[in-house]
Amino acid sequence: MKLYFSRNYNPRLAVAVARYLNSPVEFEFASPFSPGEREKFRKLNPNLSLPILVEGETTLWEADAIACRLSRLARSSFWPTDDVMPDLIRWLSWGYSNFVRACDQVHFERVTKQRYGLGPIRHEVVEAGLNEFASSAAILEQHLPDRDWLVGNEVTYADFRVACVLPFAELAGLPLARFPQVDAWHRRLMEIPAWRDPFAGLDAPELPPVIAEAR
């Protein structure tokens, strides 16, 4: 198996899952939009996005699908398939549509656009994202006081997915400190080596620097 990845947060998520599960994959850094690369990667993913998992003649794209496949291969409860699975799906669905979206909205304006010279920060978009971040983080804050992880008693893919932008929280200026339970959960995740530094030992060029704009 080969996992094509970059350092952006959805490919980072897939790499973290593979390394957490000790999946037997070959990691290859990729840049589908680079000159001469589009046709190669269009055959693997018509969206030209990463991550992409190639397994024999089968190609799988989207981080959630890849995480599910690798967990099944590992026969791991990281993606539970028992009665806990509906709770996992709930958090994946809610997280992507709420918490992750809010984090991404702020991150895109303050980080991605400034990294790649895509224009000035739209401060009204950041404000809307921060408001959604606050309301979503408040739901997590209520859920986490008596538990370490979102689902069951051990870390699952729900934690990785919902927290996927948080390794970039400081750079994006997300106010985690206002939500101590969420911050503590984030810190627990950062104690997991595969999550803290999924690219350790891999050939993975650093992302371009962020050209700071006054906030």
Alpha-carbon gap, residue 67 to 58, rounded angstroms = 15
Do 59 and 120 sit in the same domain of this protein? no
pLDDT in tens, 49-63: 999 999 999 999 999
Task: Specify the number of domains making up the chain.
Answer: 2
- Does position 215 have pLDDT exceeding 60, yes or no? no
pLDDT per residue over 64-77, tens digit each?
Answer: 999 999 999 999 99
Shared domain check, 44 and 121: no
Same-domain check for residues 117 and 137:
yes
Tell me the backbone φ, ψ of residue 17, rounded to 5 degrees. -65, -50
Domain that residue 123 falls in: 85-196
Q: Does residue 94 sit in the same domain as residue 183?
A: yes
- For residue 204, pLDDT over 80 is answered with yes
Q: Is residue 17 part of a domain?
A: yes
In a domain, 211, yes or no: no
How far is the C-alpha of 16 from the C-alpha of 38, rounded, in Å?
25
What percent of the chain is modeled with pLDDT above 90?
93
In a domain, 208, yes or no: no
pLDDT at res. 95:
96
Q: How far apart are CA 124 and CA 23, in angstroms?
A: 42
Residue 132 lies in a domain: yes
The pLDDT value given to residue 36: 87
Do the domain assignments include residue 209? no
Per cent of the chain over pLDDT 70 is 98
Looking at 74, 96, 118, the residue that finishes a domain is 74
Q: What is the CATH number of the domain that holds 178?
A: 1.20.1050.10
The structure tokens listed for 45 are: 């993913």
Residue 150 Cα distances to 88, 161, 184, angstroms: 8, 11, 12
Q: Are 88 and 39 in contact (CB under 8 A)?
A: no
Q: Of 19, 53, 74, which residue constitutes the final position of a domain? A: 74
pLDDT band at 213 (very low <50, low <70, confident <90, very high): low
CATH number, domain at 11?
3.40.30.10
Per-residue pLDDT tens over the stretch 147-193? 999 999 999 999 999 999 999 999 999 999 999 999 999 999 999 99
In a domain, 121, yes or no: yes
Same-domain pairing of 113 and 159:
yes
Q: What's the pLDDT tens digit per position in 1-10?
A: 999 999 999 9
pLDDT > 60? residue 103: yes
